[in-house]
Amino acid sequence: MSAAQHESDEIAAIRQAVRALCEKFPGEYWRALDRERAYPTEFVEALTGAGFLAALIPEQYGGSGLSMGAAIAIMEEIQANGCNGAACHAQMYVMGTLLRHGSPEQKQKFLPSIARGELRLQAFGVTEPTSGTDTLNLRTTAVRDNDHYVVNGQKIWTSRVEHSDLMLLLARTTPREQAQKRTEGLSVFLVDMREARGRGLTIRPIRTMMNHATTEVFFDDLRVPAENLIGREGQGFHYILSGMNAERILIAAECIGDAKWFIGRASGYARERNVFGRPIGQNQGVQFPIARAYAQMRGAELMVHEAAGLYEAGRDCGAEANMAKLLAADASWAAADMCVQTHGGFGFAEEFDIERKFRETRLYQVAPISTNLILSYLAEHVLGLPRSY
Ligand SMILES: Cc1cc2nc3c(=O)[nH]c(=O)nc-3n(C[C@H](O)[C@H](O)[C@H](O)COP(=O)(O)OP(=O)(O)OC[C@H]3O[C@@H](n4cnc5c(N)ncnc54)[C@H](O)[C@@H]3O)c2cc1C
């Protein structure tokens, strides 16, 4: 159902291995967790044990040193097999900020344990309740006090914090009016939550429409060792931006996987469900939406591969990564809607898993970047239109 026929034997083998792993986590597993809003610990442990989450960590730090092409195959396969990589996808890419901008000592200290899965770095504290998408307006502060920074403020939608040992935190170190440039004055820290919880860090879970382990996080005079500052003070916004392309490409691949799952389910059901004495899929009114969703998914998949190829070659891929995310999120959402419609009433029944996947894939119109903000980016940076905000 995909561009897989053009892929190397190595990537085909990775897909096969991910499929085999996912078979051990069928719909019943995800449904039970969804009901309780519980974390898929066994699934994440299995992915970690197989080394999949360390795909992008270079071999010198104990990772698998795989390409972005391999990483997107992993994330796509997870979703295409009915599982949900959102529980742990950040373990794959949040470390990129440390890898690109951390000191040799920081990399040596953290990356090998992250690669082994002993340290979970899958929490990413950027979004705040008042500033929202306007990241440069965030209010959480980190003030230097000898060999520490003292952090005060609040983050929202900080996902997986309760299932992570470290959090990558973006906080303001220079007041906005004193920063030389609009994009300066923010810094990135690695917060060790094993030490921080109860000592200035409070986590409050948010129940959402899908099972996502997301939270609000409060900082109240939290002391973070100065040695946990990543890169140079004041440059954090640039470091966070530099990691966003990888995040967008990987999440786009997840959306492609979701779309494939919905299209597969819909096609199967349309072939087998008989109404008026014939399969419903014999009606063009049923088969055309499935075919359209397939074409939409394949088009988006090409853009995901284009973005991944540019990323891999070390070339600028900002526009392609954004378009991949936009098109793939649209494709998965269109496929989700089509799949419910194809199933009629059964699309709403929990045991078919469609309503669960429908809720899960809806997120990607909003996070990690909303569709509107991607359109604004393309309008301004690719098409040269006036900045709209
Ligand atoms: C389940 C979940 C998990 C998340 N996980 C994380 C995480 O782990 N870490 C993290 O830091 N963040 C996380 N987020 C936050 C996510 O990245 C933001 O929700 C998203 O970027 C949108 O920001 P906002 O919710 O503040 O919306 P707002 O910025 O308030 O925007 C609201 C709406 O207005 C639109 N809008 C705003 N400004 C403009 C404009 N100038 N032009 C056009 N439209 C505009 C937006 O597109 C959006 O539709 C998560 C969110 C959710 C829901």
The CATH number covering residue 135 comes to 2.40.110.10
Residue whose structure tokens are 């900020």: 97
How many folded domains does the chain comprise?
A: 3
Residue 220 lies in a domain: yes
pLDDT band at 7 (very low <50, low <70, confident <90, very high): confident
Which ligand 1 atom minimizes the distance to the CA of 159? 8
Residue 1: is its pLDDT beyond 70? no
The tens digit of pLDDT for each residue in 65-95 reads 999 999 999 999 999 999 999 999 999 999 9
The tens digit of pLDDT for each residue in 19-35 reads 999 999 999 999 999 99
256 lies in the same domain as 378: yes
- Ligand 1 touching residue 141 (CB < 6 A): no
Residue 389 lies in a domain: no
- Rounded percentage of the chain residues whose pLDDT exceeds 70: 99
Test site for ligand 1: of 138, 370, 375, most ligand atoms within 8 A of the Cβ: 370
CATH number, domain at 338? 1.20.140.10
Q: For ligand 1, atom 25, which residue shows the shortest CA distance?
A: 132
Give just the sign of the alpha carbon dihedral 41, 127, 380, 187. Answer: negative
The tens digit of pLDDT for each residue in 300-351 reads 999 999 999 999 999 999 999 999 999 999 999 999 999 999 999 999 999 9
Domain that holds residue 191: 121-235
CA trace torsion 189, 192, 196, 201 (10° rounding): 50
137 lies in the same domain as 83: no
- Rounded percentage of the chain residues whose pLDDT exceeds 90: 98
Which DSSP letter does residue 382 get?
I
Q: What angle do CA 177, 182, 186 make, to 5 degrees?
A: 85
Average pLDDT for the chain: 97
The tens digit of pLDDT for each residue in 217-275 reads 999 999 999 999 999 999 999 999 989 999 999 999 999 999 999 999 999 999 999 99
Q: Looking at 116, 142, 170, which one is the last position of a domain?
A: 116
263 lies in the same domain as 331: yes
186 lies in the same domain as 320: no
Q: Looking at 207, 235, 263, which one is the last position of a domain?
A: 235
Which ligand 1 atom minimizes the distance to the CA of 128? 26
The tens digit of pLDDT for each residue in 361-382 reads 999 999 999 999 999 999 999 9
Residue 21 lies in a domain: yes
311 lies in the same domain as 287: yes
How far apart CA 215 and CA 103 sit, in angstroms, is 30
The tens digit of pLDDT for each residue in 178-192 reads 999 999 999 999 999
22 lies in the same domain as 139: no
